Amino acid sequence: AGLQENGVQQSVLSAAKHDHLLRILGHFEIMAFFRDVSGIDNHHADGKLENAHAMMAALNLSPKTTLLVGDSLHDWHVAKAIGVDCVLIPGGHQSPERLTAAGAKMIHSLRDLRKLFAFE
């Protein structure tokens, strides 16, 4: 069984423009997996932290039971700023070496989330 079948709720918090993000999720037909989708409304990706705070409040999420999965140091910093745990998957804008040098926890792929949650 996957994350959803095990009661794990997923949302998307992205530095991508919100309308572009919706198109991507629609294209890959994965919108149904996500409780909420939050992108930015400008080109500078400077609203991600504010969107993270808003998402936590709107969905009434507890930092103790929330995990941010990202691929950049910015994701790691956002997670720390909102008080949630974070794991990063290499393949984004920074090298795996840079992510680990900063002290970020890493997994190798989304499949590893099942192991992290002990579903395998």
Per-residue pLDDT of the chain (120 residues), as tens digits, is: 578 888 889 999 998 899 999 999 999 999 999 999 999 887 655 688 999 999 999 999 999 999 999 999 999 999 999 999 999 999 888 899 999 888 889 999 888 888 888 776
CA atoms lying within 13 Å on the CB side of residue 58: 12
- Residue 17: phi and psi, rounded to 5, are -60, 140
pLDDT for position 115: 85
- For 4-116, CATH gives 3.40.50.1000
- Domains of the chain, residue spans: 4-116
Q: Categorise residue 118: left if φ over 0, alpha if ψ from -120 to 50, beta otherwise.
A: left
Instruction: Quote the pLDDT of residue 1.
Output: 58
CA atoms within 13 A on the CB side of 102: 19
